[in-house]
Amino acid sequence: MIRIAKWKIISVLGVCLLGLLFAMPNAMSSSSADSLPEWLPNDQISLGLDLQGGSHLLLEVKVEVVIAERLEALVDSMRGELRKARIRYSGLSARGHIASVTIKNADDMDTAYELLRPLDPGFQVVTDDSGLITLTMSEQALTERRKSAVEQSIEIVRRRIDETGVREPTIIRQGEDRILVQLPGVDDPERVKRLLGKTAKLTFHLVDSTSSLSDAMAGRVPPGSRLLPSVDAQPGQPASYLIKKRVMVSGDTLIDATPGFDSRTTEPVVNFRFDSVGAKRFGDVTLKNVGKPFAIVLDGKVISAPVIREAILGGAGQISGNFSTADANDLALLLRAGALPAPLTVLEERSVGPGLGADSIAAGKVASGVGLLAVIAFMAIYYGRFGLMADVALVMNIVLIMGALSAIQATLTLPGIAGIVLTIGMAVDANVLIFERIREELKNGRTVINAIEAGYARAITTIIDANVTTLIAALLLYEFGSGPVRGFAVTLAIGIATSMFTAIWLTRLLVVAWLRRTRPQSLEI
């Protein structure tokens, strides 16, 4: 008992030292922590929304828009295949989850079926005797499309939030088609809402110059074309454009977008660059359509429709419009982050002021301080010298918790503070079990060293069982909980690990050091 291997002593002291180093920045101001040498830890604990203040948004993904776009693309493919095969048809349309077409000549039914069946494996193709062919999206395809749209939306939202510099945002799925976004410390929530509210779907289309714009504005839009409004029509420019539905180049192939200024007019612009696939496609389109207007469409509105003067083969271009500097910065951010697969709508919005968070922190400090002093006083009075050793371990336990939270950059929330306060009470449980066992061994007539050795040896199983069951509960809370519940689970799990370390190893090291120095013949505990 009184002999502990040197490597164990060094390990215990090393862990305590690391805990002190990682916890130290939390006792400093942010500027002082940032000025620490690079070889020292300088990360502070990140505060959650309820402590730091910020914005809480609940977003809904309009997944039906994704399904409608898929149907629209299918209808365009059906039209192209039937025209290419010179098959006469009528009633080509899409509604709900079904696309349908009527083949006029019964002799063409088999050919049409073979052409349409492989267009999209997610659709079931059915024919009838009247010449009607229907393509219905299967339930599996619907489920996969909805799931994919929400997962992709979460990733794009995360990229956009990260671009704004918000630290430790919470972005999680809630339900089937909703996303919970919590942004600690955000001082301009309206800008974030604007960024999240834009789909940022950039596409390039040829302008339909062969049809009449006035007829289209009167409601007679030709098949294969769309009438889109201009973002900000200027004098002498049309308020709407008639463009081809076919997407010539998609914004999916963009690899970079940066704000800048036009070298001729000094107006804010957005410079973009395609990957190799997009650059080739962009070059081919501009090469074959020199002299024709080329519309740049963002979220269903035409930003501009410049005439192609010459082929653009370098894979880079420039988007100009009536931008302010802030508009150009935001548009570049959106294009870099990528387009949302479907629009997002804000269902719920809450703002938490920093004053409320400051009150919570103050209350948490008071609760932690009162709880710590009460436990220290009880242990010192009830167990004497051994209680003081347990108190030293308890203080080190709190230091280790703070150091661990800083090291993993966990977000501390109000429930997290509750977890720390709970850990203060739980941290001495192991010591209580050990000390009570030592008392029993002394009553049974054992010597001091034998009683202490038996107390640690026989209490260890109970200590492990009690802490492992609590740790399992913490893991389940983290796995199935969200937001503040996870914060509580994290601090509780860390507290369990550190309390076992300090109770079993640190307190034991203190007891052994006292035994070797004093060699007592009797013991009061």
Q: Please report whether residue 513 resides in a domain.
A: yes
Residue 65: is its pLDDT beyond 80? yes
* 186 occurs within a structural domain: no
Q: Is residue 157, in this structure, part of any structural domain at all?
A: no
Burial 291-327 (b: 16+ CB within 10 A, else e): eebbbbbbbeebbbbeebeeebeebebebbbebeeee
Same domain, 229 and 117: no
Give yes or no: residues 343 and 359 share one domain: no
Assess if residue 525 is contained within a domain.
no
Q: How many structural domains comprise the chain?
A: 3
pLDDT attached to residue 2? 60
326 is a domain residue:
yes
Query: Span 409-415, mean pLDDT?
Result: 78
Do residue 397 and residue 370 come from a single domain? yes
CATH number reported for the structural domain that contains residue 369 in this entry: 1.20.1640.10
Identify the band that residue 322 occupies on the pLDDT scale cut at 50, 70 and 90. Answer: confident
Phi, psi (5° rounding) for residue 224?
A: 85, 0
Range of the domain at 466: 6-52+355-518
**Tens-digit pLDDT profile for residues 341-369:** 888 888 888 777 666 566 767 777 787 78
Q: Check whether 125 has a pLDDT greater than 80.
A: yes
Contact 116, 130 (CB under 8 A): no
Instruction: Please give the single-letter amino acid code of residue 451.
Output: A
Q: Across 238-332, where does the E strand assignment appear?
A: 240-244, 249-250, 254-261, 268-274, 294-298, 301-304, 316-320
pLDDT digits (tens, 9 = 90+) for 3-56: 778 888 889 899 999 989 888 888 887 777 777 777 778 788 877 777 777 788
Q: Tell me which DSSP letter residue 293 carries.
A: B
The answer to whether residue 212 sits within a structural domain is: yes
Mean pLDDT of 304-309: 83
Q: Which H or E run includes 12?
A: helix 6-23
CATH number at residue 118: 3.30.1240.20
CA distance 184 to 51: 8
Say yes or no: 382 and 270 in one domain: no
The arithmetic mean of pLDDT across residues 61-67, rounded, is: 86
- Predicted confidence at residue 400, as pLDDT, reads 92
**Which pLDDT value is given to residue 338?**
74
Listed in sequence order, the residues at least 6 apart from 46 whose beta carbon sits closer than 8 Å to its beta carbon are: 167, 168, 184, 409, 410, 411, 412
312 and 383 assigned to the same domain: no
User: Distance (Å, rounded) from C-alpha 521 to C-alpha 160?
Assistant: 69
215 and 317 fall within a common domain = yes
Which of the listed residues 301, 317, 349 is the one where a domain comes to its end?
A: 349
Round the average pLDDT of the chain to a whole number and report it. 83
363 and 464 in one domain?
yes
Q: Check residue 356 and give its pLDDT.
A: 57
> Are both 284 and 401 inside the same structural domain?
no
C-alpha to C-alpha distances, 505 to 59, 332, 464, 497, nearest whole angstrom: 48, 55, 13, 12
For residue 230, the domain's CATH number is 3.30.1360.200
Residue 190: the pLDDT is: 78
One domain for residues 127 and 219: no
pLDDT average, residue stretch 185-189 = 71
Q: Which of 333, 349, 365 delimits the end of a domain?
A: 349
Specify whether 365 is located in the same domain as 478. yes
Confidence band (pLDDT; 50, 70, 90) for 472? very high
Question: What share of the chain in percent tops pLDDT 90?
Answer: 4
360 within some domain: yes
Domain membership flag for residue 499 = yes
- The more confidently predicted of residues 375 and 264 is 375
Reported as a pLDDT band with limits 50, 70 and 90, residue 396 is very high
CB count in 10 Å sphere of residue 160: 23
213-270: pLDDT as tens digits: 888 888 888 888 889 988 765 555 667 888 988 888 887 788 888 888 887 778 888 8
Is residue 484 predicted with pLDDT exceeding 80? no
Same domain, 219 and 322: yes
Q: What are the contacts of 3-6 at 24+ separation with CB within 8 A?
A: 4/508, 4/509, 4/512
Within this chain, do residues 363 and 298 fall inside the same structural domain, yes or no?
A: no
User: 77, 108, 142 — which closes off a domain?
Assistant: 142
> HSE (CB half, 13 Å, CA atoms) of 425?
8
Arithmetic mean of pLDDT, 77-89: 89
Distances (CA, A) of 434 to 109, 459, 462: 85, 6, 10
